[in-house]
């Protein structure tokens, strides 16, 4: 079908020879209709696509082909064969943005100064000699009984300076005090158990936020790729690379929390695993810059490369199980990691095999195609990994090294 396009002058980016390929129904009278017609660019079938937009011959229709940028941006709200691909990952991006904000707000980053002030006040008010003798009776085996006067002085000087590190060794002592003399700490103006537990030095969060950043980058890049790629061959070229870079970034940064929190007390293996996956991730991104990498016949190689990157995570996970087999958290996180592996693995297989559209071409153009299933499985896998990350944080916050 050949229909004349209106408003040709709107889009200077668009090459003149492609103008007639952008199809639109004849306009009706009135501004409302005119606006509607601007949005209603006609969708085309697979056989009328230019070569660079042909990727999946089992999706037969509902393609946008070389539309102007304005119409492409508006098409986020219309139905075509990329609508659900855009939205599955855009919603995923907002889920991870919310999780990032929630995690940053919920998990303590630094020691609570207000709580520290309360402890200092509590010690100032207490009869230290009496307290010390009570503690000796209560905990005769307590090693390195702290000098409470010294502790009080340390707290006094450390609060204004905010130089808390030297005092952090006292947190464990304070915990002992709490278990020994609960009435002291729960009475009146004194600190409660919640505040005391919050006093522990929290484990660094950067590996967890690196993963959340990688997930958000992947989801947003993918969503943008699906929305914008139909504009022109040049933009398809750029966006597909961004999409592959996003996938590589998600896989690589997914290693950061499990590897860092499993091996944080063993810098050699921590650096070995983190270094390897970072190099592998960068190599994959560089490889994806090669023009041949995005040809349709490379679909299985692309899937295998990302699959291989993911499967290399088995090594640090087995290593973690060997080291911490007696820790329930090690098993708990591994179960999450197995579930994540299954979700990503099934996603990669569905993507490579183009199931289910290969069985009924044209029936899944709008909803149910392999790529949408792949997207949902990626978001589910990343969310499982987030859950595992929380277990790691809790484990290390409580136990340290």
Kindly list the residues in this chain that would bind Zn ion in the complex (CB under 5 A).
222
- The rounded distance, in Å, linking the Cα atoms of 198 and 2 is 69
Residue nearest to Zn ion (CB): 222
Minimum distance between the CB of residue 375 and Zn ion, rounded to whole angstroms?
Answer: 6
Q: Cα–Cα–Cα angle for 184, 190, 196, nearest 5°?
A: 90
Q: Which is nearer to Zn ion, 167 or 288 (CB)?
A: 288
Residue 167 or 223 having the CB closest to Zn ion: 223
Minimum distance, C-beta of residue 45 to Zn ion, in the bound complex (Å): 21
Q: How far is the CB of 91 from Zn ion (least distance, A)?
A: 13
Residue 24: beta bridge partners?
A: 41
Residue 235 to residues 5, 23, 51, 61, Cα–Cα distance (Å): 21, 20, 14, 21
Cα angle: 168, vertex 174, 177; to 5 degrees: 165
Torsion of CA 258, 284, 76, 229, to 10 degrees: 180
- For the CB of residue 222, give the shortest distance to Zn ion in the complex, in Å: 5
10 Å Cβ neighbour count for 206?
Answer: 11
* Helix axes 267-288 and 256-263, enclosed angle (nearest 10): 170
Residue 71 vs 222, nearer CB to Zn ion = 222
Token code pair at residue 95: 């889920």
Are 269 and 261 in contact by the 8 Å Cβ rule? The answer is no
Counting every residue written for the chain, the total comes to: 401
Q: Reduced to 3 states, what is the DSSP secondary structure of residue 76?
A: helix
In 16-147, alpha helices (H): 31-39, 69-74, 83-106, 113-125, 128-138
If the CB atoms of residues 222 and 370 are measured against Zn ion, the closer one turns out to be 222
Q: Which is nearer to Zn ion, 255 or 351 (CB)?
A: 351
Q: Judge whether 71 and 41 are in contact, CB under 8 Å.
A: yes
Least separation in angstroms between CB 336 and Zn ion: 24
Q: 24 — phi, psi (to 5°)?
A: -150, 145
Shortest distance, position 225 Cβ to Zn ion, whole Å? 7
Minimum CB separation of residue 371 from Zn ion in Å reads 5
- C-beta atoms surrounding 161 within 10 Å: 7
CA distance 401 to 398: 9
Contacts 24+ apart (CB under 8 A), 312-317: 312/276, 312/277, 312/280, 313/254, 313/255, 313/258, 313/277, 313/337, 313/341, 315/273, 316/255, 316/258, 316/259, 316/262, 316/263, 316/269, 316/273, 317/258
Residue nearer to Zn ion on the CB measure, 89 or 385: 89
Alpha-carbon gap, residue 385 to 337, rounded angstroms:
7
Least distance from Zn ion to the Cβ atom of residue 89, Å: 7
Compute the least distance from the CB of residue 247 to Zn ion, in Å: 9
Report the residue number, 228 or 317, with the smaller CB distance to Zn ion: 228
- Nearest distance from residue 109's CB to Zn ion, in Å? 34
Nearer to Zn ion, 118 or 222 (CB): 222
């Amino acid at each position: 079908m050949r229909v004349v396009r209106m408003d040709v002058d709107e889009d200077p980016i668009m090459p003149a020879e492609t103008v007639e390929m952008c199809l639109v129904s004849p306009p009706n009278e009135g501004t409302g209709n005119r606006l509607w017609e601007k949005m209603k660019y006609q969708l085309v079938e697979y056989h009328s696509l230019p070569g660079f937009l042909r990727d999946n011959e089992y999706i037969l229709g509902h393609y946008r082909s070389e539309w102007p940028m304005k119409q492409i941006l508006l098409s986020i709200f219309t139905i075509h064969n990329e609508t659900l691909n855009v939205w599955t990952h855009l919603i995923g991006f907002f889920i991870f943005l919310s999780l990032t904000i929630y995690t940053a707000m919920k998990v303590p980053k630094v020691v609570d100064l207000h709580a520290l002030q309360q402890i200092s006040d509590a010690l100032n008010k207490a009869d230290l000699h009496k307290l010390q003798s009570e503690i000796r009776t209560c905990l005769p085996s307590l090693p390195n009984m702290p000098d409470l006067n010294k502790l009080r002085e340390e707290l006094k000087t450390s609060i204004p300076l905010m130089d808390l590190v030297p005092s952090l060794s006292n947190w464990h002592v304070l915990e002992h005090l709490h278990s020994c003399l609960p009435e002291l700490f729960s009475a009146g103006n004194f600190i409660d158990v919640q505040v005391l537990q919050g006093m522990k030095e929290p484990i660094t969060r950067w590996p967890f936020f690196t993963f959340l950043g990688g997930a958000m980058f992947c989801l947003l890049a993918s969503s943008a790729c699906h929305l914008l790629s139909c504009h022109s061959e040049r933009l398809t070229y750029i966006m597909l690379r961004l999409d592959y870079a996003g996938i590589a970034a998600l896989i690589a940064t997914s290693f950061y929390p499990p590897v860092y929190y499993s091996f944080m007390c063993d810098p050699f293996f921590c650096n070995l695993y983190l270094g390897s996956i970072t190099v592998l991730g960068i190599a994959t991104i560089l490889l994806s810059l090669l023009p041949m990498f995005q040809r349709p016949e490379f679909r299985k190689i692309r899937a295998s490369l990302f699959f291989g990157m993911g499967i290399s995570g088995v090594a640090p996970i087995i290593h973690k199980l060997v080291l911490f087999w007696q820790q329930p958290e090690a098993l708990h996180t591994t179960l999450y990691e197995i579930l994540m592996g299954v979700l990503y693995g099934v996603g990669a297989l569905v993507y490579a095999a183009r199931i289910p559209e290969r069985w009924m071409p044209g029936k899944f153009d709008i909803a149910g195609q392999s790529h949408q299933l792949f997207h949902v499985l990626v978001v589910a896998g990343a969310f499982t990994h987030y859950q595992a990350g929380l277990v790691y944080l809790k484990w290390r916050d409580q136990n340290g090294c």
